[in-house]
Chain A
Amino acid sequence: MTTLTQKDVGTFLAKQGILIAFAIFMIGFALANQRFIQIDNIAGVMRSSAILGVMALGVTFVVIGGNLDLSVGSMMSFSTIVVLDLHDKLGPALAIPAMFALTLLLGAFIGFLVGYLRLNSLIVTLGMLSAIHGLTLTWSGGKNMDIDDKAGTWFSFFGQDRIMSIPVPILIFALVAVVLSLLLAKTPFGRKVYAVGGNGQAATFSGIPRARIVFMTYLISAFCVATAGLLQASRSMGSQNTVGQGMELEVLAAVILGGASLMGGAGTVFKTVIGVLILGFIQNGLLLVGLDFYVQYIVTWIIIILAVWLDIAAKRGRLWSPIA
């Protein structure tokens, strides 16, 4: 039986801090309002978090690989608009794979620029944010997109149906999370993603194809975005051109909240899921205790900074930064 030193407690808090904070929030909201822990409320929160969540899973790979992806929001608008448009032209069975192919093509383009040409990911994806937004507007002609015959299609299955009384978006989110979690934690590919993000040069010297790994992380991110676009389109059966606008930064906030380091090399799929759920439940909980919607923004601000601050404070062993 070893005794707990203060340092152990500190490390424990830093490592599991996000889970502890999550638990405290849940208990607090549950005490404040009974409705918070009822099954239908929890299912509701998870269902509305699914779209943001799926995107965050993909961005987790990109961030662990040491890069950023600011284009996921406008790419999600693109997938949503494209699948809605193609639905009426080709039918749902063809529209969905076509949309996935197009979105993956965009992901491959970004992956090529960042992975093989080694361009700065922040600027590349910033440029792509703008470019893809233009592409979406060109595709739709600037108009809202709607499915004509909403009753006569099975397309609403992904966003609106239930299997064994569980909403399909939750099932899809869970499925993608489990698959990607296994991919990241249990396969050689996953280990290479950590290696590339942790120390790119060392990874290159040990024979890991850095460019290809980075390329793959953007493909995974694009796949997740396409899935999110499918969920969004299927849920609303119609959409504006700007449906994903601003989501790139919310997604990033969830990933950071989950403890992934922007320097790369750290983070897990499971913790990103926790980050997504924290954002979702805080939003829901604050509304249920009767606060206005904007309070969630202010709370999120404080939580993100506290989470990252405590994380690095534990690593350097002191609370305040050593910056002169």
Chain B
Amino acid sequence: MTSFNRRDLLKRGAIWAFILVELAFFSIAGRFLSVSDAAFMDLDNMLLLLKQSAPIGIIALGMTIIMINGNIDLSVGAIFALAAIVMLDSMNWPFMQGLGNWAIPLAWIFALLTGVVLGAINGLLVWKTGVDAFIVTLAAMLGFRGLVFMYNGEQPTSHMNWSLVDFAEAQFLGLHTPTWFLLGTVLILWLLMTRTVHGRNAYAIGNNREAAVNAGIKVGPHFVWNFMLIGFLAALSAVVFYSESGSVNPNDGMLYELWAITAVVLGGTKLAGGYGSIISTLGGVIAIQLLRKGLGHIGADTQTVNLVIGLILISVLILDRQLNSKGKEELKI
């Protein structure tokens, strides 16, 4: 029993230890290699890092719950893009223009609703057809991207509203608006997964779906709720990001699903389902962002980042296999 606890502690602590190693490495290496004089551990730099983690981070948090269920969602990048277009375009609608700044919350609601509806489509398909979530969302990734192009062709969609930009760039208690959204999402989802029946069911379904069904858990509706949740979060991520930038290209958000999954896996969540934590995913998100910033800080080219992240992901998998007995079994999607 004690060995189990030690292992568990080791696994939960691993991502944070990795972050500390990264911080130490880049601080020391930065002294010798950095072109700029600024220290890596500069407070402003770290605050910026949190802010830049927010878009992928919010999606990755939702992906954690989907993956704890034993599902996956490959369509989040397309949902992200479509929600962004709806938000920016809706502010150009005639009746919205008359509303002044009241158009902003309304545009947000439209965008978030878009995400929820798209997520519900995925969830209902997974529930009612019984087709694997991997296939349903893979197809939806293409389909939703088609909807994105349908909206405005290959043209970018833009809307500039300075009070919106001011809000997105504001700092409250030192933290940027996107950071607050990220931390708020972490808090709510952490409560959801650790303090509610829904969270307990999520783990139960991922662990053993048949047993969960026998225990009376309604698996289908549970999936639908979670897909609506990740749709909502993908849209929230778009709201946070595009409130500041004000312009979206139809190709935006591509490969976001893969970045989000990478962060979740770094955080230790199992693809097979039944294991994972919101807080560790936050660690995974921060670790990736640190790596990007750190490698840039010591003068490495952007291309090195991809190489390093890929190799780290594989190393984590090898390490995890050594630490975790469940990993030795044959995993299937």
Chain A interfacial positions (CB closer than 8 Å to B): 66, 68, 70, 113, 117-120, 122-124, 126-138, 142, 200-201, 245-246, 249-250, 252-253, 256, 262-263, 292-298, 300-302, 304-305, 308-309, 312-313, 316, 320-324
Q: Residues of B contacting A293 with CB < 8 Å? A: 149
A142-B301, A308-B135 given as contacts; is B318 within 8 A of A200 (CB)?
no
Chain B interfacial positions (CB closer than 8 Å to A): 74, 125, 127-132, 134-136, 138-150, 153, 213, 217-220, 223, 254-255, 258, 261-262, 265, 271, 301-314, 317-318, 321, 328, 330-333
Whether A134 contacts B321 by the Cβ 8 Å rule is no
A256-B135, A301-B139 given as contacts; is B331 within 8 A of A120 (CB)?
yes
Q: Residues of A contacting B132 with CB < 8 Å? A: 262, 308
Q: Residues of B contacting A304 with CB < 8 Å? A: 135, 138-139, 142
Q: Residues of B contacting A200 with CB < 8 Å? A: 330
Q: Could you give 25 example pairs across A and B, Cβ below 8 Å?
A: A117-B318, A119-B321, A122-B271, A124-B317, A130-B309, A130-B313, A132-B310, A133-B310, A134-B303, A134-B305, A137-B301, A138-B301, A142-B301, A245-B255, A253-B138, A296-B146, A298-B143, A300-B142, A302-B139, A304-B142, A305-B139, A308-B135, A320-B129, A323-B223, A324-B213
Whether A292 contacts B150 by the Cβ 8 Å rule is yes
Cα–Cα, bound, A171→B154 (Å) = 34
A127-B311, A262-B132, A321-B127 given as contacts; is B317 within 8 A of A120 (CB)?
yes
Cα–Cα, bound, A123→B312 (Å) = 11
Of B131, B144, B148, B317, the residue contacting A309 (CB under 8 A) is B131
Whether A123 contacts B143 by the Cβ 8 Å rule is no
Q: Nearest Cβ in chain B — how far from A175, in angstroms? A: 29
Q: Residues of B contacting A135 with CB < 8 Å? A: 307
Whether B138 contacts A321 by the Cβ 8 Å rule is no
Q: Residues of A contacting B135 with CB < 8 Å? A: 256, 262, 304-305, 308
A134-B306, A137-B303, A322-B130 given as contacts; is B313 within 8 A of A123 (CB)?
yes
Count A-B pairs with CB separation below 8 Å: 179
Cα–Cα, bound, A88→B333 (Å) = 43
In the complex, besides A120-B317, A123-B317, 20 extra interface pairs with C-beta distance below 8 angstroms are A118-B321, A120-B271, A123-B314, A126-B313, A127-B311, A127-B314, A142-B301, A142-B303, A245-B254, A250-B142, A256-B135, A262-B132, A292-B149, A294-B148, A305-B125, A305-B136, A305-B139, A321-B220, A324-B217, A324-B219
Which of A126, A256, A313 has the most B CB atoms < 10 Å from its CB?
A126
Q: Nearest Cβ in chain B — how far from A23, in angstroms? A: 22
Cα–Cα, bound, A114→B265 (Å) = 17
Q: Nearest Cβ in chain A — how far from B16, in angstroms? A: 21
Cα–Cα, bound, A292→B311 (Å) = 40
Q: Nearest Cβ in chain B — how far from A93, in angstroms? A: 29
Which of B129, B140, B147, B312 has the most A CB atoms < 10 Å from its CB?
B129
Q: Nearest Cβ in chain B — how far from A248, in angstroms? A: 10
Q: Nearest Cβ in chain B — how far from A89, in angstroms? A: 20
Whether B310 contacts A119 by the Cβ 8 Å rule is no
Q: Nearest Cβ in chain A — how far from B201, in angstroms? A: 12
Cα–Cα, bound, A262→B138 (Å) = 12
Cα–Cα, bound, A69→B57 (Å) = 25
Of B143, B217, B302, B312, the residue contacting A297 (CB under 8 A) is B143
Whether B146 contacts A297 by the Cβ 8 Å rule is yes
Which of A252, A308, A309, A324 has the most B CB atoms < 10 Å from its CB?
A324
Whether B306 contacts A323 by the Cβ 8 Å rule is no
A138-B301, A297-B143, A302-B143 given as contacts; is B129 within 8 A of A126 (CB)?
no
Whether B314 contacts A295 by the Cβ 8 Å rule is no
Closest chain A residue, CB of each to CB of B75: A301
Whether A305 contacts B303 by the Cβ 8 Å rule is no
Q: Nearest Cβ in chain A — how far from B169, in angstroms? A: 30
Cα–Cα, bound, A302→B143 (Å) = 8
Cα–Cα, bound, A305→B145 (Å) = 16
Closest chain B residue, CB of each to CB of A312: B130
Closest chain A residue, CB of each to CB of B213: A324
A126-B258, A127-B314, A305-B136 given as contacts; is B145 within 8 A of A297 (CB)?
yes
Q: Residues of A contacting B312 with CB < 8 Å? A: 127
